[in-house]
A and B are shown apart, each in its own frame.
Chain A
């Protein structure tokens, strides 16, 4: 689904009378069905030729068989060329989607810049006092002119794409062109047999499946996995048996029905079945692991820029000067260094409050999961449930603070960096274990908690702490609607257990 934010820059449908990627694909559906019918006809005619061979013998046989064989060739040619044309039509539909996506970005930028510029202008003293008039039209025109280059570039690319598709039409269904379309999932795999001399490799087939899966909606994927007929997107009811082939290659596809309870089993058995399923591991735990890898929450004040680091070092050197344990307050009193009355500490606090420093106890997620625990390369704001899940680090914070103090006492030789790494790593593991204990103590009981701890393996203690929260959040999410239903149907054991853990950890 392509998002089209209204704006001054035209989408494809604005330029071409309501045509968009979806309508182009819709137009290609019926021809795709007809190509499939003609393809099937070729198979039927092949059967006819064979039947004639069984009904006739002697010198006349080959001549009579030529009738269906020639017709079979015709049908194959029509089907092959039909699939090729449909593949190119669907290719162009994707390129139209790309164009609209680019334009959507430009229009979204326009709005962001427009609102920002209008806001700034409204606070201009002259405008604010009424001496100048706010000209929003001029602001809009100025921003549009500034963005026009990007839009023109998008239009040029669309024209280039159209030229490329037109060239492919002119070149015709060469084996190279057909292979490319198959690799992009634009010609159904079974149709490859229609093109003489075309031999697909395993790599082609993998590319094909990957492309088809990438363009499936969740509903299409579910129909594909569970349906008797496996529809292929953009190709009508054309069916294919790729699911089994994918499985044979070690691909794994989620079966969300694994989350549903089995009425013949106890609530605990159902819960265990769900929690130990690959699907559970892939969704909630996979999510938890991913979040934990990205999660950063430190008890330390860490500079987020080189400038801030210099400021901190400068102030810290004053605090760290042990030659005189006292310092003078603004009122002239001598106060202990590092105490709450120490003015240098006040400067540090002010700097932390207003500068580029991490806030102790405030969890966040970083963009790069491979970043060192102490690295905070790119701060990202995650709202809603995602931040809530990351918030399981409430326990992590406490553990981290203790580790920092322990290291200071027992490893005075360690550099701050070394201590930061140790603290962050310890916080993640110990904090996770603490939260896992909360899970084990939930309504579901120790047995279920033990299950959680045992099946997730080495990372179990880390992940376990987040599981409860993830289940709670996941069950309520749109994606996890089926999961939520499943868990609720199991009984209140898991659902309320998750809720208990969620609230015990997140408040």
Chain B
């Protein structure tokens, strides 16, 4: 499909978006398991100092990232496929123009090209 601002291979892009969302199943789940696995490892390490240090490290450096990753994978994939879906609906110009952060939900247009907060 060709429009005034960009060219798009709609079906391919839609599929890529779906793939990204689908990665939540194994990749996102692995991140969650990593958290729980390290939590279990902390419980089985014995020495209180190391146990506490590992637990703190997981809480401070991994917990937030690993907890959010599954939902962010889904959202990011939806964003990509949403661009294709919107373009397929003939809303190409709107798709090119609209930007909204994840969390905003004010209609179809807002799903297009939303960005995941960088931090």
Whether, in the assembled complex, A395 has its beta carbon less than 8 Å from a beta carbon of chain B, the answer is: no
Considering the chains assembled together, what is the distance between the CA atoms of A28 and B34 in angstroms? Answer: 10
* With known contacts A59-B5, A166-B50, A44–B23 Cβ distance under 8 A: yes
Closest chain-B Cβ to A64's Cβ sits at a distance in Å of 6
Residue of A60, A81, A96, A172 near B6 (CB, 8 A) is A60
Which A residues between 23 and 52 are near B, CB-CB below 8 angstroms? 23-24, 27-28, 30-31, 34-35, 37-38, 40-41, 44-45, 48, 51-52
* With known contacts A15-B46, A59-B96, A30–B6 Cβ distance under 8 A: no
- In the complex, how many residue pairs between chain A and chain B have their CB atoms under 8 Å apart? 179
Interface on chain A toward B: helix, strand, loop, or mixed SS? helix
Contact mask for chain B residues 63-88; partner A; CB cutoff 8 A; 1 contact, 0 none: 00110110011001101100100000
Residue of A12, A38, A48, A66 near B46 (CB, 8 A) is A12
Q: Which residues of B contact A35 (CB under 8 A)?
A: 34
Per the CB 8 Å criterion, the residue count for chain B at the interface is 53
Q: Which residues of B contact A45 (CB under 8 A)?
A: 20, 23
Q: Tell whether, in the assembled complex, residue B80 and residue A60 are in contact, meaning their CB atoms are under 8 Å apart.
A: no
Residue of B37, B40, B116 near A70 (CB, 8 A) is B116
Q: Which residues of B contact A169 (CB under 8 A)?
A: 50, 53-54, 56-57
Q: Which residues of A contact B49 (CB under 8 A)?
A: 159, 162-163, 165-166
Considering the chains assembled together, what is the distance between the CA atoms of A28 and B44 in angstroms? Answer: 10
Q: Tell whether, in the assembled complex, residue B26 and residue A60 are in contact, meaning their CB atoms are under 8 Å apart.
A: no
Q: Tell whether, in the assembled complex, residue B56 and residue A74 are in contact, meaning their CB atoms are under 8 Å apart.
A: no
Closest chain-A Cβ to B69's Cβ sits at a distance in Å of 6
Q: Which residues of A contact B45 (CB under 8 A)?
A: 19, 24, 27, 89, 92
Which A residues between 56 and 88 are near B, CB-CB below 8 angstroms? 56-61, 63-64, 66-68, 70-71, 74-75, 77-78, 81-82, 85-86, 88
Closest chain-B Cβ to A201's Cβ sits at a distance in Å of 27
Closest chain-B Cβ to A307's Cβ sits at a distance in Å of 52
* With known contacts A63-B99, A82-B62, A166-B53, A57–B27 Cβ distance under 8 A: no
Q: Tell whether, in the assembled complex, residue B26 and residue A81 are in contact, meaning their CB atoms are under 8 Å apart.
A: no
Q: Which of A67, A86, A162 has the most CB of B within 10 A?
A: A67
Q: Tell whether, in the assembled complex, residue A48 and residue B20 are in contact, meaning their CB atoms are under 8 Å apart.
A: yes
Q: Which residues of B contact A85 (CB under 8 A)?
A: 38, 54, 57-58, 62
Contact mask for chain B residues 20-47; partner A; CB cutoff 8 A; 1 contact, 0 none: 1001001100110110011011001111
Q: Which residues of B contact A23 (CB under 8 A)?
A: 44
Q: Tell whether, in the assembled complex, residue A81 and residue B61 are in contact, meaning their CB atoms are under 8 Å apart.
A: yes
Q: Tell whether, in the assembled complex, residue A64 and residue B80 are in contact, meaning their CB atoms are under 8 Å apart.
A: yes
Q: Tell whether, in the assembled complex, residue A75 and residue B69 are in contact, meaning their CB atoms are under 8 Å apart.
A: yes
Considering the chains assembled together, what is the distance between the CA atoms of A58 and B9 in angstroms? Answer: 12
* With known contacts A27-B44, A82-B38, A68–B80 Cβ distance under 8 A: yes
Q: Which residues of B contact A15 (CB under 8 A)?
A: 46
Residue of A48, A58, A167 near B16 (CB, 8 A) is A48
Contact mask for chain B residues 97-119; partner A; CB cutoff 8 A; 1 contact, 0 none: 00100000000000001011010
Considering the chains assembled together, what is the distance between the CA atoms of A96 and B40 in angstroms? Answer: 18
Considering the chains assembled together, what is the distance between the CA atoms of A37 and B41 in angstroms? Answer: 18
Whether, in the assembled complex, B89 has its beta carbon less than 8 Å from a beta carbon of chain A, the answer is: no
Smallest CB-CB separation from A96: which chain B residue? B46
Q: Tell whether, in the assembled complex, residue A78 and residue B8 are in contact, meaning their CB atoms are under 8 Å apart.
A: no
Q: Tell whether, in the assembled complex, residue A16 and residue B27 are in contact, meaning their CB atoms are under 8 Å apart.
A: no
Q: Tell whether, in the assembled complex, residue A51 and residue B16 are in contact, meaning their CB atoms are under 8 Å apart.
A: yes
Q: Which residues of B contact A438 (CB under 8 A)?
A: none
15 contacts between A and B (CB under 8 A): A37-B30, A51-B16, A52-B16, A56-B6, A56-B8, A56-B9, A56-B13, A60-B83, A61-B6, A64-B13, A68-B80, A70-B115, A71-B69, A71-B73, A81-B62
The 6 closest A-B pairs by CB, nearest first: A58-B6, A16-B46, A41-B27, A31-B37, A166-B53, A37-B30
